[in-house]
Amino acid sequence: MSNAKAKPLGLVFFPAFDWAISPTHPEREERLLFTRDQVLEEGLLDLPQIREYKPRLASIADLERVHIGVPDIASLITDAHRVSAGGAITAAESVLRGETAKAFALVRPPGHHAMRVVHGTRGFCTVNIEAVMIESLRRKYGLRRVAIVDTDVHHGDGTQDIYYHDPDTLFISFHQDGRTLYPGSGFPNEAGSPAALMSTVNIPLPPGTTDQGLHAVLDELVLPMLADFQPDLIVNSAGQDNHYSDPLANMAVTAQGYARLAEKLRADVAVLEGGYSIEDALPYVNVGIILAMAGLDYRRVLEPDLDRAPVQSAATTAYIGKLIADWQGKWANREQLRRSALAAAGNSWKRERDIYYDDSQIMEHQRESIHYCPHCPGYMAISTESSGSRTGDKSAFAVVLQQESCLVCRERGKDALIKAKRQRDHQYFVLQDKKEDSCGRI
Amino acid sequence: MLVGIDVGGTYTDAVLLDAGKVIRQIKVASEHGQVLASILTALDEILQGIETQCIERVALSTTLVTNAIVQGKLDPVGLFIMPGPGADWRGRLAAEPLVLSGYVDHRGRERQEIALDEVKQTCKKMAGVKLFAVSGKFAVRNPAQEQKVAGILAAAMQPLHIACGSTVSGNLNFIRRTNSAYYNAAVWQRFQDFADAAAAALAERGVQAPILILKADGGTLPLAKARELPVESIFTGPAASVLGVMGLCPPAKPAVSLDIGGTTTDIALWKGGAPLMDAKGAAINGYLTAVRTFRLHSIGLGGDSWLRRDGDRLLIGPERKGSAMALGGAEPTVTDALIVAGLSDFGDRGLAEAAIQRLVFPGKSLQETAQVIIDQAAEIVANAVREMLAIEAAAPVYKVEDIVRPELLRPELLIGVGGGAAGLTPLIAEKFKLAWQVPPLAMVANALGAALARPTLHISLRADTAAGEYTVPELSLRLPLNDRRYSIQQAVKQAALHLQEMAAAAGITADEIETTFGEEFNLVRGFSTVGKIVHVGVQIKPGIIAGLIDAAATGGAGT
Ligand SMILES: [Zn+2]
Ligand SMILES: [Zn+2]
């Protein structure tokens, strides 16, 4: 139990009551209405253990610290995206300024399907609000090691993409198995590019997983991994669609399961992601998470229809047990796995993918190359082409220079960009320079 | 003629108005603990030589309920709650409740029934108790369970009064509604006694005019209606003075008003010609209630604030050690400094100088010392105003539009009322480079506010077209609704009809009805729209029944 002197939970509640992807889309005005009602009726905003903050507007520069928008990020977003990303930053800053013990950005629209390169909206996400928050904190507060635990039912493929090459960011996602659910990714073999191998951890769970399975994964895998990684900051992408009543997925977690997870995870900042059982789950799950994060008693937060929550099958329990054991083995060997992957990669590492934007009906084809350097994290080049956008096909070539890229790599990266521009194979040429904190066309 | 009386802790103020002009104003010492006696002393003095038939109304702002609560003079109440599952309510309620099974959810659907036997069993433990409060979580969405429990109590306990959470407030917040209902029951008998005595005393004096009671939200209620909602008459002193500002010099521009009294200064913010309200409600004895109030920020600084030195530092308030030395007090006060600085002109100037002489700074004259003191006092108030504006700017909003294009309150005028206003207001305004105004009669703004306050009522209506019903919690109504396309406009119209009916029953004319909020959401299930939630609030516009003639023409003003 917290006492009056303990720091409160910072809460940014931003339901965006005037914003929707479309009138009947799951991401619509009504989504957090019943959550607001429950939060107000319980009188949570009156508690001294909870302090509400008004979200700030994230700037375009905040977004471009993470994203490369094609043609540019400003033309792809609405004001709501700047508020929700700004809300995540506001929440996190309340913690880093020492005003709050933890913070919860209960905001929409969500962000964890938004990747580094953005052509449109996918999985209801356009900008990755956690990544925008984390990069803002790194810039302003000098944080280095960050762990993100994505507890949404969908694989956080956008966050994974953004941190796939970053050994300082541990990204752990457990989700309903991609063979049975959007976005169809998030398998254990997606574990990071060689220099960051094993800093991406995917734990695909079978449909029907309950509190029992989720807490087994948490206790035996996620919490020990966090203890090993020793992050400066723990972020929870707090999607709520693992709930047994969620209409878009097939899991069986309860409000109690989520609240206990929040209590055990002790995230510094939680950021709402998905969750579309807006009447039967969200009011209870959100109240549970808020109480748990504020150090208050959440044990009486129970869904009225709790008796219809399924029980986990023995097969599912066994499957999850094996999944945990496999991961424990790999995790124990992570240093060695990374070393051999780097040795095998040589000077560079490449991947080529198709990325589908379901909300914008855009198909992107992307080629990424990481150029390694013995003295620094190297640099990255990205070639991207998209088709299907209402504003026509687009292409861009981008070079990303890291904060610690050495002078030689900086020159090489810029050369690669100039060379690409001369070849005129793309429409736009973008330099994202993390040292200069700039992103722009050349 | 209109009579307004404001009973404060130290003084009772009264005014008599005729045809928009104050024809008499008095200030008498309040009789400690004797609210009715204070009222009658003031009334007898102000009505001297007046034909009582000419009195059209008598409006009272009293500390009766506030004192009863603060002094713990509360009757035992049987407090029944139906909290259902959810957050822990323990430690948040003003009295130990009896917890019943049964609850409704956020859509107002009954998820667990009331256990009738349990209620009856609990009643047995309450022998002799005559006052009750009943409150259920989400009862504002469906008052049926509260009604059912109240029905059982009415049949079994011969109660004097049963307060239901959903009728004392239509707002979401189970904790606040429960506390409001509890206090309403706990002060009920005391208020009835007061109302009986007040009515009898006025009748004895031949005053046949209706008696109105001021509420914390600045409206009045006819005595008969006020008897149902005594908790609403807490903290009316500051509300009265805000209304006084409305009568004396209603600001057309965004403004800050200060009521600088003896020990405290109450700050209010004005937007669109009206003071901002506190949407959530007042705190009573550390417990939160749903009693609507103006949004006021109160600080411990006033004309009687005690001045003393602590080494090189000058300390001002928050304690009061009696009146100014210029008026025969024992200790130096802010008022003494104002007199020495030539900003106030009453009392004994020689005594005021003696007061400031005690504090004089090395190398500074008496005049300079007085200047330093009042500048520091002005700075304290200015800081409190800054803080209040900052809190207002940081108030959370829930729409993108309100973040991107915020309606920031940028005051253009500073208004001062109360005893210390004339001296301090210009100095505070100077710190903000604001125009300022201290209206005449600023000293009795509180009694004026009471005299002029309109009778008000407010209700909310929430329609759920998918469920096919609408609810007006304040009236315990839940009625069928068969219009899928029900709009905010229709809801406002319907709510206004209910409000007019309620007003007529209470003997109030409801000519100016305004919307306090309105929101509309489509209910989508699967990928199709199955209905709408429409939620509106309406009220009889609070304010004053008539402005004062030439009120703002004199008094002090400047830029
Ligand atoms: Zn999701
Ligand atoms: Zn290098």
Whether residues B138 and A28 touch (CB distance < 8 A) is answered with no
pLDDT at B256 over 80: yes
A contacts of B106 (beta carbons < 8 Å): 34, 37-38, 41, 279, 283
Asked, for residue A363, whether it belongs to a domain, the answer is: yes
Q: Can you tell me the distance from the alpha carbon of B109 to that of B107, in angstroms, rounded to the nearest whole number?
A: 6
Q: How far apart are CA B198 and CA B512, in angstroms?
A: 29
Higher pLDDT, B347 or B136: B136
- Segment A69-96, tens digit of pLDDT: 999 999 999 999 999 999 999 999 999 9
Element (H, E) at B435: strand B435-438
A218 plus A282 within the same structural domain: yes
Helices (H) and strands (E) in chain B, counts: 16, 30
**Token output for A248:** 């878009």
Catalytic amino acids of A? 113
Domain boundaries defined on chain B: 1-72+188-249+444-452, 78-186, 250-438, 458-540
Structure token digits, residue B346: 């009453």
Q: What is the CATH number of the domain that holds A115?
A: 3.40.800.20
Predicted confidence (pLDDT) at residue B456 exceeds the cutoff of 80: yes
Res. B528 pLDDT band, cuts 50 70 90? confident
Q: How confident is the model at residue B543 (pLDDT cuts 50, 70, 90)?
A: confident
Task: State how beta strands A117-118 and B435-438 pair.
Answer: unpaired
Nearest Cβ partner for B176 among A37, A43, A247: A43
Question: What pLDDT band is residue B382 in, cutting at 50, 70 and 90?
Answer: very high
Same domain, A330 and A375: no
Mean pLDDT, range B75-83, rounded to an integer: 97
Residue finishing a domain among A334, A360, A375: A334
Give the CA angle between residues B391, B219, B226 to the nearest 5°.
125
Distance from CA of B385 to the nearest CA of A (A): 20
Q: Is residue A3 part of a domain?
A: no
Q: Is the Cβ pair A79, B106 closer than 8 Å?
A: no
- Rounded to the nearest angstrom, the minimum Cα separation between A300 and chain B is 5
Cα gap A199→A331, rounded to integer Å = 10
Tens digit of pLDDT for each residue in B283-294? 988 999 999 999
Average pLDDT over residues B106-130: 93
**Pairing state between β A379-387 and B528-540:** unpaired
Whether the pLDDT of residue A374 is over 80: the answer is yes
Higher pLDDT residue, A98 or B344?
A98
Confidence of residue B555 (pLDDT cuts 50, 70, 90): low
* Phi and psi torsions of B135, nearest 5°: -145, 130
**Are A370 and A432 in the same domain?**
yes
Contact residues on chain B for A38, CB-CB shorter than 8 A: 86, 106
- Categorize the per-residue pLDDT at B551 as very low, low, confident or very high, splitting at 50, 70 and 90: low
Asked if residue A217 and residue A120 are part of one domain, the reply reads yes
Third-level CATH fold of B250-438:
Nucleotidyltransferase; domain 5 (3.30.420)
Distance of CA A327 from the midpoint of ligand 1 (Å) = 23
Give the pLDDT confidence of B397-440 residue by residue, as tens digits: 999 999 999 988 999 999 999 888 988 999 999 999 999 999 98
Q: How high is the pLDDT of residue A1?
A: 44
Closest chain A C-alpha to B177 CA, distance in angstroms: 10
Note whether residue A278 is domain-resident: yes
Is 50 exceeded by the pLDDT of residue B214? yes
The yes-or-no verdict on residue A2 having pLDDT over 50 is no
State the average pLDDT for chain A. 96
A34/B173 CB distance under 8 A: no
What share of chain A has pLDDT > 70, as a percent? 99
A283: nearest CA partner in chain B: B106
| A17 and A115 housed in the same domain | yes
Q: For the residues of B14-27, what is the DSSP string, one character each?
A: EEEEETTEEEEEEE
Single residue among A302, A334, A366 that ends a domain in this structure: A334
Answer whether residue A342 is part of any domain.
no
Neighbours of A393 (CB within 10 A): 12
pTM over 0.90: yes
Query: What residues contact residue B390 under an 8 Å CB cut-off, 6+ apart?
Result: none
Pick the more confident residue, B373 or B526.
Answer: B373
- Yes or no: is domain B1-72+188-249+444-452 CATH 1.10.10.60? no
ipTM reported for the complex, 2 dp:
0.94
Parent domain of A231:
9-334
- Cα B107 from Cα A38, distance rounded (Å): 10
Instruction: Determine the distance separating the centroid of ligand 2 and the alpha carbon of A411, expressed in angstroms.
Output: 9
Tell me, what's the pLDDT at B550? 55
The verdict on A321 and A238 lying in the same domain is: yes
Secondary-structure breakdown of chain A: helix, strand, coil percentages, each rounded to the nearest 5? 35, 25, 40
Q: What is the pLDDT of residues B7-21, one digit of tens each?
A: 987 789 999 999 889
Residue A406, domain member (yes or no): yes
The neighbouring-strand residues paired with B164 are B134
pLDDT at B262: 85
Confirm whether A341 is domain-assigned.
no
Residue A204 near residue A198, CB atoms below 8 Å = no
Interface test with A, best of B112, B400, B520 (most A CBs within 10 A): B400
- Residue B553 confidence (pLDDT): 45
Chain B residue with CA closest to A86: the answer is B403
- Amino acid occupying residue A84: S
A218 DSSP assignment: I
Average pLDDT, chain B: 92
Residue A1 maps to a domain = no
| Closest chain A C-alpha to B88 CA, distance in angstroms | 6
**Among the partner residues A29, A52, A287, nearest to B87 by beta-carbon distance:** A287
Residue B63's pLDDT band, with cuts at 50, 70 and 90, is confident
User: Is A2 within the bounds of a domain?
Assistant: no
Rounded alpha-carbon distances, angstroms, from residue A319 to A203, A258, A323, A337, B427: 12, 21, 6, 24, 75
Among A146-150, A230-234, B404-408, which is the least confidently predicted range? B404-408
Instruction: Please report the residues numbered 238 through 297 in chain B whose beta carbons come closer than 8 angstroms to any beta carbon of chain A.
Output: 280, 288
Q: Is B400 on the interface with A (CB under 8 A)?
A: yes
Q: Do B106 and A297 touch (CB under 8 A)?
A: no
Chain A residue numbers with beta carbons less than 8 Å from the beta carbon of B87 are 42-44, 287, 291, 296-298, 300-301
- pLDDT(B549) > 80: no
Question: What whole-number distance in Å separates Cα of residue B109 and Cα of residue B66?
Answer: 37
Dist CA B435 CA A352 (whole Å): 67
CB B510 within 8 A of CB B503: yes
Question: Which among B107, B138, B403 has CB closest to A57?
Answer: B403
Note whether A329 and A389 are same-domain residues: no
pLDDT tops 50 at residue A382: yes
Residues A230 and A354 grouped into a single domain: no
Indicate if A330 and A405 belong to the same structural domain: no
- Tell whether A286 and A391 lie within a shared domain: no
Per-residue model confidence as pLDDT tens digits over B478-526: 999 999 889 999 999 999 999 999 999 999 988 899 999 999 999 988 8
Q: Does B99 touch chain A (CB under 8 A)?
A: no
Residues 6 or more apart whose Cβ sits within 8 Å of residue A215: A257, A260, A261, A264
Q: Are residues A351 and A299 in the same domain?
A: no
Place of tokens 């903000």: B432
